[in-house]
Amino acid sequence: MSLQTSSAITMPMQLLAMTHGLPIHQVLYAAAKLGVADLLKDGPQTSSELARNLKVDESALYRILRLLASQNVFEETSPRTFDNTELSYFLRTGVPGSVRSIVIFRGSEFFFAPFAEILYSIETGRAARAKLYGMEAFEYMKTHPETARVFDDAMTNMSELVGPAVAAAYDFGKWGSLMDVGGGNGMLLASILRAHPELRGVLADLPATLERAGERGFLGGELASRSTMRPCDFFREVPSGCRAYVMKNVIHDWDDERAQNILANCRRAVPTDGALLLVEWGLPEGNALSAGKFADVVMLLLTGGKERTVEEYRRLLGRAGFRLNQVVPTSPDLIIIEALSD
Overall average pLDDT of the 311-319 stretch: 97
Same domain, 301 and 168: yes
Cβ 115 vs Cβ 294: under 8 Å: no
Residue 46, strand partner residues: 81
Same domain, 11 and 120: no
309 has pLDDT over 60 = yes
What's the CA gap between 319 and 313, in Å, rounded? 10
Q: Which residues are catalytic?
A: 252
Same domain, 174 and 268: yes
Read off the CATH number of the domain in which 60 is found. Answer: 1.10.10.10
**Overall domain count for the chain:** 3
Supply the pLDDT for residue 260: 97
Same domain, 173 and 274: yes
Same domain, 334 and 218: yes
Same domain, 265 and 280: yes
Supply the pLDDT for residue 1: 44
Q: Which of 71, 6, 68 is nearest to 32 (CA)?
A: 68
* Mean pLDDT estimate for the chain: 95
Overall average pLDDT of the 235-260 stretch: 97
Same domain, 240 and 285: yes
Helices 256-269 and 310-319 cross at an angle (nearest 10°) of 60
Same domain, 231 and 323: yes
Residue 144 structural domain: 104-154
Q: Which of 135, 156, 164 is nearest to 212 (CA)?
A: 156
Same domain, 302 and 220: yes
Q: Which of 98, 123, 141 is the endpoint of a domain?
A: 98
Same domain, 334 and 198: yes
Residue with the larger pLDDT of the pair 67 and 5: 67
Parallel, antiparallel or unpaired: strands 45-46 and 81-83:
antiparallel
Same domain, 15 and 137: no
Same domain, 26 and 110: no
What's the CA gap between 178 and 226, in Å, rounded? 11
Give per-residue pLDDT as tens, 3-45: 455 566 688 888 999 999 999 999 999 999 999 999 999 999 9
Read off the CATH number of the domain in which 182 is found. Answer: 3.40.50.150
Overall average pLDDT of the 232-250 stretch: 97
59 has pLDDT over 60 = yes
Q: What is the DSSP letter of 233?
A: B
Radius of gyration of the chain (CA): 22
